[in-house]
Chains A and B, each alone.
Chain A
Amino acid sequence: MWQGLYDELQDKNFIIIAVAFDTGGVAAVQEWIRPATPAPLPKELLDIMGWEDTLSRTAATPTYPCLLDEKHIVAERYNMVNVPMAVWINESGRIVRPAEAAGATDGFRTVDQVTFQMPAEVAAAGKQARTRYIGAIRDWVEKGDASVYALSPDEVRRRIHGMTESEALAAAHFRLGQYLHQQGHRQDAQRYFAEAKRRHPENWSFKRQSWELEEPGKAVGPEFWAAVEALGEKPYYPPVNL
């Protein structure tokens, strides 16, 4: 979905690195990155992610690096608890925006759980949020560190979520579960995933990845929707403070 933006900006010393948090490996992501039959992305998905038609693309193999992170290493190192989340890094390797929702909003919470249809006004608001985020990226690519959207080191530090010991232990449980799953001990793996989820309840990647490994489709099933509803007023994607 980022291909349109990449096509536009790649000549301006800019690159997108997409990292898939997929313990399921190549098999899980293949159809997304190398679709057997490239086709337009479904409108429901575009609405959920807030993409404008002009930037949305036929699903095709991206020309920027798409990396496979089976162990969720990048998630741990950058405090990404969900997807999609993004970090902006400048030419010197400095973080200018720490992990935040990459243009996605909570609009998806209004979709019909069967048809995934979204009310028009919610879809419009989602597109606005996405457009603002994309606009910020364009501004940054144009102006570099001088962009208002490129945050100072102090501001980045202020916004970085400090990992707690409980969260570090949760991550270790998740990793052990991931290892056991890949060794074929799927039931045992789920026990460690359960501990990870218990110790880091705000981590949606732990929940949804473990559900998907338990049973394909479970990541968007009734447990998912119940967990989202249990958020109440709390956001699934905290709004980006541009």
Chain B
Amino acid sequence: MSVTIIYGDRPVSVASATAEGNNLWLPLDDLRATTGWELKPQGVCLDEVCVPIPAGRDADFVRADGKQFNLTALARQLNQPVVHDDAHAVWLFGEAASARNAALQSVQAPDFTLPDLEGKWHSLSEYRGRKILLVSWASW
């Protein structure tokens, strides 16, 4: 079935994902495009970070002759929050509190990229070299 997966920021439509209760299986071929993660011999990897599949638990992560991957099993491993709306077939994978906290504890300002009102994109990192007052506001 077609499921919209929001991993990080971008929603991606995955044609043959399978939702089973609190588990979401997607074709292994779609894993990298959807999430950036890749399955390698040493585990599930994103750039230089690899998460080994816990001993004896391969079946929780991979099935159907290695063709399907359980994204929610990985999320649980990483303590990522997962929320899904079955009526609209949307699954959202958020960032783990531990990852957020590690980023802030590094005291390096986390980067972001957002548009201005003209639609031009700005990244915080573009302004490196100046003192920055980053201030929130809202119309409400």
Chain A positions near chain B (C-beta within 8 angstroms): 2, 13-22, 24, 26, 28-34, 65-69, 71, 73-80, 82-95, 98, 102, 137, 140-141, 144, 153, 156-157, 160, 162-165, 167-169, 171-173, 175-176, 179-180, 183, 185, 188, 192, 195, 205, 208-209, 211-212, 219-220
Contact = CB atoms under 8 A, between A and B. Distances in A.
A205 B139 CA distance: 11
B139 A28 contact: yes
A192 B131 CA distance: 37
Specify the main secondary structure of chain B where it touches its partner.
mixed
B59 interface: no
Nearest to A26: B117
Nearest to B124: A17
B94 A172 contact: yes
B22 interface: no
Given A179-B92, A180-B85, A180-B88, A14 B131 contact: yes
A165 B130 contact: no
B94 A175 contact: yes
Nearest to A216: B140
Interface in B53-105: 79, 81-85, 87-88, 90, 92-97, 100-101, 103-105
B135 to A, nearest CB: 4
B21 interface: no
B100 A163 contact: yes
A63 B44 CA distance: 45
B116 A85 contact: no
A144 B110 contact: no
17 contacts: A14-B131, A15-B131, A16-B133, A18-B135, A29-B117, A32-B139, A66-B117, A75-B136, A76-B95, A91-B131, A93-B125, A172-B81, A172-B82, A175-B92, A176-B84, A180-B90, A192-B83
Contact of A34 (B81, B105, B117, B138): B117
B1 interface: no
Contacts of A94: 107-109
Contact of A15 (B96, B107, B109, B132): B132
Contacts of A176: 6, 83-85, 90, 92
B115 A67 contact: yes
B129 interface: yes
A31 B93 CA distance: 34
A48 to B, nearest CB: 13
Interface of B: 6, 9, 11, 79, 81-85, 87-88, 90, 92-97, 100-101, 103-105, 107-110, 112, 114-117, 122, 124-125, 127-140
Contacts of A162: 97, 101
Given A67-B116, A87-B109, A165-B81, A179 B90 contact: yes
A22 B95 contact: no
B128 A93 contact: yes
B116 A84 contact: no
A78 B104 contact: yes
Given A20-B136, A29-B139, A77-B112, 8 more contacts: A65-B127, A74-B136, A84-B136, A84-B137, A93-B108, A160-B101, A162-B97, A168-B97
